[in-house]
Structure 1
Amino acid sequence: MGREDVEFKTCDRVTLRGWFYTGDLSTGKSPCLVMSHGFSALKEMDLDTFAEYFVSKLPMTCLVYDNRGFGASDHAEGEPRYEIVPMTQCSDISDAITYAATRPEVNPDKIAIWGSSYSGGHVLFVGAVDRRVKAVLSQVPCVSGWDNFNRLVRPDFAVGSNAAFAADRIARAEGKEPGYVPVVDANPLQPSALPTPDSYEFFSAWEKKSDWTNKVTLKTLELFRSYEAQQLIDKIAPTPLLMTVASGDVLTPADLALGAYARAKEPKQLQLLPCGHFEAYSGPHFERNAGTQADFLKRWLLEG
């Protein structure tokens, strides 16, 4: 197995950086899986573990990268770091596909996309609008920003969020620095983007052993609330879709994902894991999860 440091330009000339994984490529040009991480997460936060698994089990390649404004990737000139604009991240996935298609190891007609959590929603949108995509793997996805936001934020706290969003818009219009909020906080009653105990446990552990930074802009939350990744889910077909849902997920609730999955058209496959959101990434459920995903890739990307 090989891993190469890579970088590529987006359509608006922002440099994204990541890793390109290769396995046994004796068959010549190989399929490629473009992999994007979730809300504020970096490529080394278990994304690499999935890529290593796939290239060790299948004759394929994987491209993983940091989202713009996070980790090793740049941000657009004049825009702040640690800001997530979901439709821009969707566009960046398509630019990652374009980069992968230019690699000499890659068969440009066999490129799939994989996303988890926030990007698990992104790939539902990209899989519908970018017809180069040959398979879509969506893991513990955020399918509805509006519903998800209102599950995570108490109604009385939402009033304060609205006031903060309005004040931040005025500050930006006056040329001031954008407002920020922690991604997680040990106290779920304190303002944070992801106010669940398992989110704090996951991200605080990675903060100690990576370059992950515990903040996003306030605008990130406002954009999150208005983002409906599921809006074109019925348009993904005839591209095959695998959705992995964690039955105990309280961050991107399972019932929302299952409702979106019900509206997707065939061919589609559902994997239901008996665990919480972050347990899909590692631990005792990893082998089952990644194994099902590898089987799906073998059927629809390698052999399809």
Structure 2
Amino acid sequence: MAERQDISFRANGVDLAAWFYPAAAGAPVVVMSHGLSAIRRMNLDDVARVFQQAGLAVLCYDHRCFGDSGGEPACEADPWAQVRDMRDAISFARTLDGIDPERLGIWGTSYSGGHVLTVGALDRRVKCVVSQVPFTHGARTFEAWVPEKARARTLERMTKDREARYAGSAPETVPAAMEGSETEEWAKASDKEGRYPNKLTLRSLEMIREYEPHQFAARVAPTPLMMIVAARDTQTPVEGQIETYELAGEPKKLVRLDCRHYDPYLSHIDQAAGAARDWFVEHLRP
């Protein structure tokens, strides 16, 4: 198997750090990115190698403002900036040596699981989509994360941060993985190089409320769509994921795993990555 290559590419004025996994000449290519605050060094190499072993080339990158990628402010997850970057990643992937630019798939998980729904609906260069444990409903997810009694206070804090930034202050930040949380458990298990910043700008959470990928689901067809759903997901509400899948047209496939949100990267990686691999191979073959 060919060695993984460290590369970078330009996306909307920012250099994004990436890994490229070559395959045989004329191979399809899959573009991959991680979730809300995660970096590619947290489990994505394992997923990419499953794809590469099946004859798929892979471009796996860090979002702007995270990991080894550029962008300011650090640790800000702007969903629409990430969507635009994903479309530039597609443009770049189509220029890579040895790949077939007409056979391109996109894989996203959690927050980027929402992005691939959005991009799959908007960009017909995409020939196959896999959306794993996806973020589908912004307002609902925010309400699931923030108890009702704390919402007014949280929104006021966001307003103050917005006004402070306008006045020139640095953005307020919050932990991405709270102590004792499932996210912290996963981060400790996955951040083997100690590179995870465990931080998000407060504005990132504000932008979560504004982003509704489920609205794009019906427009993905006729591009083939697989959704991988974790039955015990407490991070991205399962009900919203199933509703989103039902909105999508054919061809589509739903994979249900009896696990939690982060388990597809660890204990259930064989089932999750294997299902995605098979979907890509089926729909990106010549």
**Alignment partner for residue 48 of structure 1, among 45, 48, 59?**
45
Partner residue in 1 for 2:19: 19
2:29 touches 2:104 (CA, 8 Å); kept in 1? yes
TM-fit CA distance, 1:299 = 0.8
TM-fit CA distance, 1:206 = 4.0
1:29 touches 1:107 (CA, 8 Å); kept in 2? yes
Q: In the aligned structure 1, how far is the partner of 2:130 from the partner of 2:31?
A: 10
The unaligned stretches of length 5 or more in structure 2 are none
Is 2:218 aligned against 1:234?
Answer: yes
Is 2:62 aligned against 1:66?
Answer: yes
The letter for the 2-side match of 1:52 is R
The letter for the 1-side match of 2:34 is H
Partner residue in 1 for 2:35: 38
The unaligned stretches of length 5 or more in structure 1 are 188-196
TM-fit CA distance, 1:140 = 0.2
TM-fit CA distance, 1:245 = 0.2
Q: In the aligned structure 2, how far is the partner of 1:139 from the partner of 1:92?
A: 19
Partner residue in 2 for 1:223: 207
1:138 touches 1:243 (CA, 8 Å); kept in 2? yes
1:80-119 aligned within 5 A = 80-119=73-112
Is 2:137 aligned against 1:153?
Answer: no
Q: In the aligned structure 1, how far is the partner of 2:104 from the partner of 2:89?
A: 10
SS in structure 2 at match of 1:133: coil
Partner residue in 2 for 1:271: 255
Deviation track 1:78-124 (CA, whole Å, cap 9, x = no partner) reads x3111011011011111111111001211110110000000000000
Q: In the aligned structure 2, how far is the partner of 1:260 from the partner of 1:140?
A: 12
Q: In the aligned structure 1, how far is the partner of 2:10 from the partner of 2:18?
A: 12
TM-fit CA distance, 1:295 = 1.2
Q: In the aligned structure 2, how far is the partner of 1:70 from the partner of 1:242?
A: 27
Q: In the aligned structure 2, how far is the partner of 1:204 from the partner of 1:149?
A: 24
The letter for the 2-side match of 1:71 is G
Aligned residues: 285
Q: In the aligned structure 2, how far is the partner of 1:151 from the partner of 1:62?
A: 34
Q: In the aligned structure 2, how far is the partner of 1:104 from the partner of 1:119?
A: 26
**Alignment partner for residue 167 of structure 2, among 143, 165, 174?**
174
Partner residue in 2 for 1:7: 8
SS in structure 2 at match of 1:83: coil
Name the structure, 1 or 2, with higher relative contact order (CA <8 Å, separation 6+): 2
TM-fit CA distance, 1:210 = 2.7
1:207 touches 1:213 (CA, 8 Å); kept in 2? no
After TM superposition, the score normalised by the length of structure 2 is 0.97
158-167 vs 115-124, greater mean Cα deviation: 158-167
Deviation track 1:42-85 (CA, whole Å, cap 9, x = no partner) reads 111111110011111x222000011001111000xxx3111011
Instruction: Compute the RMSD of aligned alpha carbons.
Output: 1.2
TM-fit CA distance, 1:205 = 3.7
The letter for the 1-side match of 2:240 is L
TM-fit CA distance, 1:208 = 6.0
Partner residue in 2 for 1:293: 276
TM-fit CA distance, 1:204 = 3.6
The letter for the 2-side match of 1:296 is W
**Alignment partner for residue 113 of structure 2, among 113, 120, 144?**
120
SS in structure 2 at match of 1:102: coil
Deviation track 1:9-68 (CA, whole Å, cap 9, x = no partner) reads 01x221001100024x1xx22100000100110111111110011111x22200001100
TM-fit CA distance, 1:207 = 4.8
Residue 292 to residue 207, structure 1, CA distance change in 2 (3 Å): closer
